[in-house]
Amino acid sequence: MKRVLYIDGVGVYGGACRSLFENIRLLKGKDVDPYFIIQKGSVLKYYGQLSNNIISVLGISRFDNTEYSYYKGIRWLILLREIFFIPFTLYAFINAKLKWGKFDIIHVNELTEILPILLSKFFFNAPIIVHCRSLYHNNQSSKRNKIIELVLKKCVSCLIAIDQNVYDTIPKVGNRKIINNSYSPISLLSQDIPKSNSDSLRVGYVGSLSRMKGIYELIECFKLLKKDNLNISLLVAGDVPKKYRWGLEFFLRKFKLINQNSLQDFKDLVKVYRIENKVTFLGHVNEISQFYNKIDVLCFPSHLDAPGRPIIEAAYFSIPSIVTVREPKEDTLIHKKTGIAIPTNEPKVLRSTLKELQKNIDSLKNMGTNAKSLYLKNFEPKKNVNILLDIYKNV
């Protein structure tokens, strides 16, 4: 039985947590005994289903060098938070060493966890695997990049990219693999989701209501569509990514370190635009299959320039996707075959894309069938877990 320590520095349940959860849920039956160091938050109730061996602390110190949110200008202030989290991170590792002793493998859930990688090497000296889930800010002339690459070269046995887009950006050090994210429906709680008119183009958005996911642009798009008087509706599943205490939230907003509103703010904006009959907010959805059964196409107009986890979920349900990605890779999205790739998430571009689909709704069925085929090829959980298990054995 392999003792594997999983490290997740994001306390809020989201795509990264769900992807790791999917893997470990199947790995448990394949000679893997999971242990966890995590940041306190909603992820605890999910990882708690997999193991009783969990150490959770107020924060895990990270260093964000992803393409969307790498440190520059005023964003360097975020490092103050990461410095504050260092004692909690150190405590978690000391506690893990005293409580659990040795591990066969360390699995870190994102490339941003640079300090946890170093501490893992120091305390456990076991093979380290790092999942890479976001496009990396690969500036070869940057001193920070050189330091990160040195850490990876000295400490890490394997980097795992979630798709070809991410793989093309991560540091070219050591052993690198691609294992696409997986999805399988997990029934939690039933939830009644309103039906849309059967003759409309039913667009879906699922994810956190944050600026980087493109929800603002999508709402602006529907403001423009109002003038066209077309039967196109939007169903939004998700809530704000994280709630802060008022004082901290005021500080973060003041220096533009966060760009998020409450769910009620979005509802008020839709009311101001007078598109309440076109846009429906569901908040957090427990049973996601009910959501996908109510839409014709998923729209993921993020600023990340990469396909997101929702398009994998949509593909499982034979739903095609509209995704903002300049160079789509065929392992995740095949343009005009499994979905539509658009170069920018500007509202005018989203508007024209939806109008074109409204004219040819029949094409959605063919793209949905192709999306399901791509799911079976690249996103099927058992296949991908076996690839990960091979990596565990090799390291």
Query: pLDDT (tens digit, 9 = 90+) per residue, 2-51?
Result: 999 999 999 988 889 999 999 999 998 788 999 999 999 999 999 999 99
Report the half-sphere exposure of 158 (CA within 13 A, side-chain side): 21
pLDDT at 246 (0 to 100): 47
Greater model confidence, 241 or 175: 175
Beta-strand runs (E) in the chain: 2-8, 32-39, 54-57, 105-108, 128-132, 158-161, 175-178, 201-206, 232-237, 279-283, 297-300, 321-324, 339-342
- Residue 199: pLDDT band with limits 50, 70, 90: low
Could you list the beta-strand ranges (E) of 120-218. 128-132, 158-161, 175-178, 201-206
| CB neighbour list of residue 222: distance below 8 Å, 6 or more residues apart | 232, 234, 270, 273, 275, 278, 279
Selected residue with higher pLDDT from 383 and 192: 383
The model scores a pTM over 0.85: yes
The crossing angle, in degrees rounded to 10, of helices 215-225 and 263-272 is 20
Q: Which long-range contacts (CB under 8 A, 24 or more apart) does 71-78 make?
A: 71/144, 74/255, 74/256, 74/257, 75/257, 77/255, 77/257, 78/257
pLDDT tens for residues 264-323? 889 999 999 999 999 999 998 878 888 999 999 999 999 999 999 999 999 999 999 999
How are strands ordered across the β-sheet holding 321-324?
279-283, 232-237, 201-206, 297-300, 321-324, 339-342
Q: Is the pLDDT of residue 97 over 80?
A: yes
> What letter represents residue 202's amino acid?
R
Q: Per-residue pLDDT tens for 203-262?
A: 999 998 988 999 999 999 999 999 999 999 999 999 876 555 545 555 555 555 555 567
Instruction: Among 64-78, 86-100, 201-215, name the most confident range.
Output: 86-100
- Domains in the chain (CATH in brackets) are 2-182+381-394 (3.40.50.2000), 201-378 (3.40.50.2000)
Q: What is the pLDDT of residue 14?
A: 85
Residue 376 has pLDDT above 70, yes or no: yes
pLDDT of residue 251: 55
Of the candidates 242, 181, 172, the residue with the CA atom closest to the CA atom of residue 13: 242
| Confidence (pLDDT) at 188 | 42
Tally Cβ neighbours within 10 Å of residue 153: 11
- Tokens 């889930």 appear where? 133
